[in-house]
Amino acid sequence: MKYMKFMFIVKRQVIRGHEFLTIPRPLADKLNGRFMKVKIVRNRLIYEPILESGDSSE
């Protein structure tokens, strides 16, 4: 399958050399685990989109 496209506006930020996107907490709660890895850094929720190419979550 192709990479999932999300239809919302996000902020990009770089933390420790990795690029993350910030999204609202309720949206992150809905998408966490299934579509992306979500974690909290300071006061912000950040996520890494998970490709649909059978990536196993670590």
6-53 pLDDT, tens digit each? 444 455 656 566 666 666 667 666 666 566 666 777 766 666 666 555
Say what the pTM is: 0.26
Per-residue burial over 11-34, b = 16 or more CB atoms within 10 Å of its CB, e = otherwise: eeeeeeeeebbebeeeebeebeee
Can you give the pLDDT at residue 16?
65
Can you give the pLDDT at residue 10?
54
Residue type, 9: I
